[in-house]
Chain A
Amino acid sequence: MSRRIWNNAVKAGLYICSAVTVALLVSLIGYIMYRGIPALSFHLLSTQSSYLNDTIGILPNILNTLYIIIVTMAIAIPIGVCAALYLTEYAENKKLVSAIEFAAETLTGIPSIIFGLVGMLVFTQLLGIKQGILAGALTLVMMIMPTIIRTTQESLKTVPMSYREGALAMGAGKWYMIRTVVLPNAVDGIVTGCILAVGRIIGESAALLFTAGFGLVLNNFVDSLTSSSATLTVALYVYASERGETNVAFAIAVVLIILTLVINMIAGLAAGRLRAKTK
């Protein structure tokens, strides 16, 4: 009898925990939407802030976020994927590989403000690159490359050895085999890794404070590389704390959430399409 009561109590407890989790998520998103959606307007999204007209516009920040995603991924993907290929397919010294993997693993745990500090010291002060998208992107590359390397490695490892052996046994060279058999089958895993990375980039703020800067001015792509350019997250901080415009901050939060959702969906579709093509 007591066992039945105990079972029911445990079940009830688990239900409550799940309910709390869902409630947390729903209320969080709900509150953000509640505060943020009224503050959204076409004007907000399509203009830059102007002291003259006393208006606020977050177009520059939206563009900055997109720019930084593009630049970071453009640098990190080739280097990360190639590094992962080397580690999985070519490296001979097992000890060296473990050491590199351990280093990558540790890097993912380091707080992002430290990356920001290092980025500021190395890129803006030592190398003299002006605060802007470029410096910010380089900092983010340091941050997300371990993730990309790790997820690429994992997805390369899921390709069965038998495919590699089969290709080599027919006279394929090693790179040909990797290009035609391994990579196509690992690509959805690699894309997943990239989604994770993009998600992290969108949400990153601390690392960009002193590397990409606080600038709220609209620039074209080339200029933004070396001019202080705040991404959406940094802008949220600026508007919320320095300018006291909490409604705008919530509006930015809504934009960030929607952006994340959209990017996830696009990446998912892309991976599905790529997988269908290789079949």
Chain B
Amino acid sequence: MDKAMEIKDLNLWYGEHQALENISVDLPKNEITALIGPSGCGKSTFLKTLNRMNDLVQGVRITGEVRYNGKNIYDPDVDVTDLRKKIGMVFQKANPFPMSIYDNIAYGPRIHGVHAKVKLDEIVERSLKDAAIWNEVKDRLRTSALGLSGGQQQRLCIARALAVEPDILLMDESTSALDPISTGKIEELCLELKKKYTVVMVTHNMQQAVRISDWCAFFLLGKLIEFNTSEKIFSIPQDKRTEDYITGRFG
């Protein structure tokens, strides 16, 4: 298994409260890994450590290593803005900027110095195509992104994240606010995306995890209880707590 990221002995505290305890796991490249677990188990917190979005929270303390491309991303000499270019994130609620669709997608490349119109046009088209939304918006790139439906906005946010050509895409319950059809489209999209990118997704939806993820990590109370292929986790889980959670006996 090719590794996209290697996490070793990761611990995280919010002030006095320990949110993650001794997490060690290798995230496989070009596969979809689902992070599951009951509310408050630390899966979203864990996701946010992968692109250092936890830095934004006051009072956060981290020990351990998160290695990307052989380097610990928490080393003091790491350029966080560059890191976030390579490890993109899509949030639970679609958050397009109140700008045109074009400007939304172009936002990322512009941060990193791309201003030539021809190049931006190309990037916008490619990203919207990769996010399977090009045909729906190609005739209204200059209109406000806020005029799109919820499902379209979320795909727009995916396109926005793809515009800076990341290696890894982190998705934090990105379909939980959407209707089944939009959810279905995004799930199809993820299956396509994993050919070029690595996807790590937090999900509450067990069926979704079964449907599309290759690997699955079960979190409980800040600890990683079990990590295995999704097929094994959902048919013969090794830990009773995993089985109790996925069969809905608690959580």
Contact = CB atoms under 8 A, between A and B. Distances in A.
Interface of A: 92, 160, 162-163, 165-173, 176, 180-181, 185, 278-279
B111 A170 contact: yes
Contacts of A278: 98-99
Q: What 10 A-B pairs have minimum CB-CB distances, sorted nearest first?
A: A162-B95, A171-B85, A171-B84, A169-B89, A171-B81, A170-B108, A166-B95, A172-B111, A279-B144, A173-B81
B84 A168 contact: yes
A176 B157 CA distance: 19
B202 to A, nearest CB: 14
Contact of A170 (B56, B98, B100, B164): B164
Contact of B84 (A170, A176, A180): A170
A279 to B, nearest CB: 5
B176 to A, nearest CB: 15
Contacts of B88: 169-170
A275 B128 CA distance: 26
Interface string B152-193: 000001001100100000000000000000000000000000
A96 B244 CA distance: 47
A169 B53 contact: yes
Nearest to A94: B58
B200 to A, nearest CB: 14
Contact of A171 (B82, B93, B95, B99): B82
A92 B98 CA distance: 28
Contacts of A185: 98
Contacts of A170: 84-85, 88, 107-108, 111, 160-161, 164
B3 interface: no
Interface in B38-97: 51, 53, 56, 58, 80-85, 88-89, 91, 93, 95-97
Given A92-B58, A162-B91, A279-B144, A169 B97 contact: no
A160 B82 CA distance: 24
20 contacts: A92-B58, A160-B95, A163-B95, A163-B97, A165-B53, A165-B91, A165-B95, A166-B96, A166-B157, A169-B89, A170-B84, A170-B85, A170-B111, A171-B81, A171-B84, A171-B85, A171-B108, A172-B81, A185-B98, A278-B99
Determine which residue in A167, A168, A176, A181 has the highest number of CB atoms from chain B within 10 A of its CB, and name it: A168
B219 to A, nearest CB: 21
B112 interface: yes
A185 B97 CA distance: 10
A165 B82 CA distance: 15
A171 B98 contact: no
Contacts of A162: 91, 93, 95
A267 to B, nearest CB: 21
Contacts of A166: 91, 95-97, 157, 160
A180 B104 CA distance: 11
Nearest to B94: A162
